Chain A
Amino acid sequence: MAQAYSPGLTVTKSIVLRKDRILPLKGKVLAKKGDKVKAEDVVAETLLPGKVVPFNLANKLGVTPNLVEQYLKVKPGDEIKKGQIMAETNGLFGFFKTSVKAPLDGEVENISKITGQMLLREPRIPIQVKAFIDGVVVEVVEEEGVIIENKSAYIQGIFGLSGERSGEIKVLASTNEEIIDPSKIDDSCKDKIIVCGALVSYDAIKKAQQVGVAGIISGGIDDKDLKKLLGYNIGVAITGHEEIGLSIVITEGFGIIKMAKSCFELLKSFEGHKASIHGITQIRAGVMRPEIIIPIEFKEDELKAEEAKMATLEIGTTIRVIRQPNFGLIGKVTGLPEKLTKVESETMVRILEAELENGEKVTIPRANVEVIEG
């Protein structure tokens, strides 16, 4: 069966997860194979090279580049302290020497005979990689990081903001359709990951920032609110670097869209559990979607990742409509005609017939649905 539809985002009670926790540059791995780690634990660290500062030595000495070498007091690789003399001319009878002092603490990277330029490097910057999820280290990638596995309840979001955070789940919405009032977000939400229903408004996000919420999970968000929050319009969907003090995961899309029931129920059943979330989204060049990871109890022999498979579209399959009309509604496939069919916009497409949750019978382009597993 050809699959002219989107593979749905994963929403599952239990999945074996594998997470690569790798440094951007080689460094030191702090965990061993078999270690049980917590989300907050540092598993690897390294020193990022400091900023490179070009320094025109030939100019400062007042000589041509090819002569620089004979006046040097340092060589590539040397550590330097601010104020230290790096080069000095002989002067006239020992007088009128020109000496050049180091402008910073750091290291000499390179000295060029051709351009007379020195490249100095500022001190290294330490960075750490945390485990992000509670789990077991199943593999150590030498000098780079670790691979952690666990068993989790797992939800993929469609869009998100800001990086990795963890906290306890607290469901604020009473139904998946509710639009929560900012007043519901109070001090009891501090450090928690709060679950809203069909929309999280600008005011609600602001309130969440004030009380110190760790993360927000919502069905929808309004584009205007997003722009107001960030102060700019997102041109291409590459997010995750926003410094807004909390992470946001949107499960359905833009506008008021009730959270998929399966997703809402799952979150509700894990109220009070610790979860790890991130809003990192990239829809180009190595797609990344936001994730909600809720670790569950497991025995180590259960850690066997299943092979990824694409859910099939068949009669009886549960689907979700992902474009207007009926955006967000759930239905069951009742027919899969092979022939191309003309829809309202006059586009000729492969369609499917479905009965929606409200009882309505509709035809929808296959490209406008996603399969919901289970």
Chain B
Amino acid sequence: MGNTQKLKRIIATDCGSTTTKSILIEYVDGEYRQTVRGEAPTTVEKPLNDVTRGVVNAVTELEELARLKYNDDSIKFIKDEAIWLSEKENEGVDAYVSTSSAGGGLQMMVTGVVAKMTGESAERAALGAGAIVMDLIASNDKRANYEKIERIRQLRPDMILMAGGVDGGTTKHVAELAELVGAADPKPRLGSSYKLPVIYAGNTAAQDIIKETLENKTDLILTENLRPTLERENLGPARDKIHDLFMEHVMAQAPGYNKLMSWTKGPINGKLTNIPIMPTPAAVGNIMQTIAKINDIEVLGVDIGGATTDVFSVFSEDKVFNRTVSANLGMSYSISNVLATAGLKNILRWVPFDIDESELLNMIKNKMIRPTTIPQKLEELILEQAIAKEALKYAFIQHKEFAVGLKGGQKKREIADAFAQTVSGESIVNMMTLDLLVGSGGVMSHAPRRNQSVMMMIDAFLPEGITRLAVDSIFMMPQLGVLAEISEKAATEVFEKDCLIYLGSCVAPVGAMKPGKIALSAKLELPNGEIFEEEIPFGEVRLIPCGVGEVAKATMKPGKGLDIGAGKNQEKSCELHGGVVGIVLDTRGRQPFVLPVEASERVPLLKKWMKEFDVYPETKQ
């Protein structure tokens, strides 16, 4: 990058619905490193009603910590109650970028003609752009037209994306949908002083009809068809339009964002230029796709937040990117909904001690209404992590259902199709071929022990075969995603060195057998010369220390009828990557993974596994 000289100190913030997180990135000894981080409660709430107050607080913490770190009281990032961008050497900062999901993020409604075809494509475009999809209205969704109109009117989305019809196809259905939208005369969520933005990305032949129906009632934007043929999606143009509108309309209406938007600047070609605020999930998606492409791997990432859980995946040879948002699964605002979705029994199945039911229910509700508190007692931490496992599990189920091949297309049968995962309508998520699983979000990134993150990820996602595990150390993927807009070099350097913390690898044979039978015969040559060799019975967990950057040579043979990636009963020799936690050999079974229902059977097992995973201090294991 040509502007390396200019970029020595960068501040990046992510304004979440609970917390505003700030990081300082510095150019030290010829490379970019993330050096200090800070955070403060987000202040879109009364009495402050101004997001910049939280930003200033979070950056003030950076300033204080930087002063402590360098023992230099002259370090100053804030001037006149704003972030101090200065083009002078050693003064203020050189760039400031931000992402945002505060105020509920970007909320959209999408329409399509056939729910499972153009409707799904529209949903994918909106989700990929970082939105929460409030509803999908389709011509064939079985609701009566008047119900659809009522629904559109009630929803008050930030914007609507309309798709439908392949290019040159019939225009009647899209015209009808436009009439419904027009009849509902929808109002934007934030303020009634402007018209609701509607993006039309359907059959191009219907553009004139759409204009006639909606131009006067809405702020209509026409763009290329996002499903020009049944066999092809073209989501890029619609996504770009969503981003533009997010800045112009949604952000501009939220408290304090006009001010914040004027702060986010960085040098582009030597000139201080405004850098748009990006929706948090869009920024995370950016960075995930970059990793998958650079390393040629399949990646699954999860970001469990206070209100929502996002799952991102890049699967198959074509590196197909999918993102889903489970809008009501989260660890604070939506924690109560995790309970409603999973049920008390499913949460308690992960808890190795008795707890009074009322006490637990009240605890969950108190977390919901005071979302910024953190578990001080060990018991509460164990409960929160049990809830997290269920939230992750359900978010992943929703993702698998959504990340599917295009439906409705004419399928040319070729021999390669027999192996590829692109059969129409089938999930492209394949846990056996997955290379890297990345966890992020407070409950994972801030877990007191990294072993807890490993346990949560394995128990929730049930990786199969051999999978590498990592966490986003301090949840800075969003900031790096937007930082890439001004300096890809800074973003990727920090990503590799400071963002991902490799936890290790998980080896899990697929299949089930009777407890006690040999499920995995493993021989691992560790880098320190030690050899781990064991015939591990079914229903066990082993954790073998193997550090970051280290590799163990492994020869593994699954038990009868089981598979670790080379086929049933087939031995596999490979290298297993270590990490801060190590290598996990998990013979508890997959497809199915079963936990005993009876507490008298289950609790001793949980305790045994927790001890092997070394997740909690002895007292609770």
Measuring CB to CB, which residues of chain A are less than 8 angstroms from any residue of chain B? 1-7, 10, 25, 49, 51-54, 109-110, 112, 114-115, 117, 119, 144, 158-159, 222-224, 226, 233-237, 253-255, 281, 283-289, 308-310, 322-325, 327, 338, 342-349, 364-365, 367-368
Chain B residue nearest in CB terms to A370? B370
**Pairwise interchain contact A6-B377, C-beta atoms closer than 8 A:** no
CA of A351 to CA of B57, assembled, Å: 17
Residues in B whose Cβ lies below 8 Å from that of A325: 376-377
B334 and A158: CB pair below 8 A? no
A122 CB, min distance to chain B CBs, angstroms: 10
Give the size of the chain B interface in residues (CB under 8 angstroms): 75
Contact status B175-A345, CB under 8 Å: no
Is B333 interfacial (CB 8 A cutoff)? yes
Task: Report the Cα distance A322→B449, complex, angstroms.
Answer: 24
Q: Nearest-CB distance from B431 to chain A (Å)?
A: 29
Residue B183 is within 8 A (CB to CB) of chain A in the complex: yes
Q: Which of B64, B104, B179 has the most CB of A within 10 A?
A: B179
B346 to chain A, nearest CB (A): 14
Q: If the complex has contacts A2-B40, A310-B53, are A322 and B370 also in contact, measured as CB distance less than 8 A?
A: yes
Of the listed stretches B41-49, B234-242, B512-520, B593-601, name the one at the interface; the rest are far from the partner chain: B41-49
Contacts of B359 in A (CB 8 A): 255
Chain B contacts with A in 57-83, Cβ cutoff 8 A? 57-58, 60-61, 64, 68
Kindly identify which residue among B41, B146, B366 contacts A7, using a CB–CB cutoff of 8 Å.
B41
Tell me the smallest distance from the CB of A105 to a CB of chain B, in Å: 16
For B60, give the chain A residue with the smallest CB separation.
Answer: A2
In the bound complex, CA of A137 to CA of B588 (Å): 68
State A367–B367 Cα separation when bound (angstroms). 12
**Interface residues, chain B, with chain A CB atoms under 8 Å away:** 17, 38-41, 43-49, 53, 57-58, 60-61, 64, 68, 103-104, 107, 145-146, 149-150, 171-172, 175-176, 179-180, 182-185, 187, 189-190, 192, 209, 307, 328, 333-334, 336-337, 339-341, 358-359, 361-366, 368-378, 380-381, 446, 448-449, 617
Give the shortest distance, in Å, between A40 (CB) and chain B (any CB). Answer: 25
Contact across chains for B366 and A323 when beta carbons are under 8 A apart: yes
Interface centre among A52, A226, A325 (most CB of B within 10 A): A52
Give the secondary structure class of A's interface.
loop
Having A51-B146, A345-B381, one finds 11 other A-B pairs with CB under 8 Å, namely: A1-B60, A25-B187, A49-B185, A223-B358, A233-B339, A236-B307, A236-B336, A254-B363, A255-B362, A324-B363, A327-B366
Give the Cβ gap from A74 to chain B, nearest Cβ, in Å: 16
Residue of A1, A253, A323 with most partner-chain B CB within 10 A: A323
Say whether B336 contacts A114, CB under 8 Å. no
Determine if B358 and A235 form an interchain contact, defined as CB atoms under 8 angstroms apart.
no
The answer to whether A110 touches B372, judged by C-beta atoms less than 8 angstroms apart, is: no
Q: Is the CB of B361 within 8 A of A308?
A: no
Per the bound structure, the CA–CA distance linking A1 and B46 in Å amounts to 20
The reply to whether B378 and A346 form a contact with Cβ atoms under 8 Å apart is yes
In order of increasing CB-CB distance, the 6 nearest A-B pairs are: A285-B104, A235-B337, A346-B448, A2-B61, A308-B47, A287-B45
Question: Chain A nearest CB: distance from B585 CB in Å?
Answer: 25
**In the bound complex, do residue B373 and residue A236 qualify as a contact, i.e. CB atoms below 8 Å apart?**
no
Q: Is the CB of B362 within 8 A of A4?
A: no
Q: Contacts A112-B179, A323-B366 given: A54-B146 contact, CB under 8 Å?
A: yes
Query: Could you jot down 5 A-B contacts, CB within 8 Å?
Result: A158-B370, A236-B307, A255-B358, A347-B446, A347-B448
Contacts A223-B362, A235-B340: A347 and B374 contacting too (C-beta < 8 A)? Answer: yes
A108 to chain B, nearest CB (A): 12
Whether the Cβ atoms of A158 and B369 lie closer than 8 Å is: yes
- Flag if A236 contacts B333 (CB, 8 Å): yes
B370 touches A6 (CB 8 A): yes
Chain A hits for B362, CB < 8 A: 222-223, 253-255
Known contacts A52-B183, A234-B336, A368-B376: A117-B176 contact under CB 8 Å: yes
Query: Given the complex, which residues of B lie within 8 Å of A322, measured CB to CB?
Result: 366, 370, 373
Please pick, from B43, B336, B449, the residue contacting A235 in the complex, using a CB distance under 8 A.
B336
Shortest beta-carbon distance from B201 to chain A in Å: 19
Most chain A CB within 10 A, of B44, B373, B375, is at: B373
Residue among B58, B60, B145 with max Cβ neighbours from chain A (10 Å): B145
Which chain B positions have C-beta within 8 A of A53? 146
Contact between chains at B336 and A222 (CB < 8 Å): no
Of chain B, the residue at the smallest CB distance from A250 is B369
- Tell me which residues across on chain B come within 8 A of A255, comparing CB atoms: 358-359, 362, 366
Contact of B150 among A4, A51, A109, A159 (CB under 8 A): A51
State which of A110, A224, A284, A345 has its C-beta within 8 Å of the C-beta of B378.
A345
Q: Which residues of B contact A1 (CB under 8 A)?
A: 60
What residues of A have a CB within 8 angstroms of the CB of B43 in the complex?
A: 310
Beta-carbon nearest neighbor of A306 in chain B: B47
Q: How far is the CA of A367 from the CA of B172 in the complex (A)?
A: 56
Nearest CB on B from A191, distance (A) = 28
Within the complex, what minimum Cβ distance (angstroms) separates B469 from chain A? 20
Contacts of B192 in A (CB 8 A): 25, 144
Q: Is the CB of A284 within 8 A of B17?
A: yes
Q: A54-B146, A347-B446 are in contact. Are A285 and B103 (CB under 8 A)?
A: yes
**B449-A346 in contact (CB<8A):** yes
The docked-state distance in angstroms from the alpha carbon of A284 to that of B337 is 14
Assuming the A-B contacts A255-B362, A323-B370, A344-B376, are A54 and B48 also in contact, with contact meaning beta carbons closer than 8 angstroms in the complex?
no
Q: Are B336 and A349 in contact (CB under 8 A)?
A: no
Rounded to whole angstroms, the CA-CA distance of A4 and B64 in the bound complex is 13
- Nearest A residue (CB) for B39: A4
Q: Which residues of A contact B175 (CB under 8 A)?
A: 112, 114-115
Query: Across the interface, which residues of A come within 8 angstroms of B328, CB to CB?
Result: 235-236
| B370 and A109 contact, CB distance less than 8 A | no
CB distance from A257 to the nearest CB of B (A): 9
Instruction: Flag if B373 contacts A323 (CB, 8 Å).
Output: yes
Alpha-carbon distance between A54 and B187 when the two chains are bound, in angstroms: 20
A5 → chain B closest CB, angstroms = 8
**CA–CA, A1 to B107, complex, Å?**
35
Q: Among the interface residues B58, B192, B365, which one has the most CB atoms of the partner chain A within 10 A?
A: B365
Please give the distance in Å from A259's CB to the nearest CB on chain B: 15
Within the complex, the shortest CB–CB distance from B326 to chain A, in Å, comes to 12
Complex Cα–Cα for A349 and B372 (A):
13
Q: Given that A114-B209, A236-B336, A310-B53 are contacting pairs, would A349 and B46 also be in contact in the complex, using a CB cutoff of 8 Å?
A: no
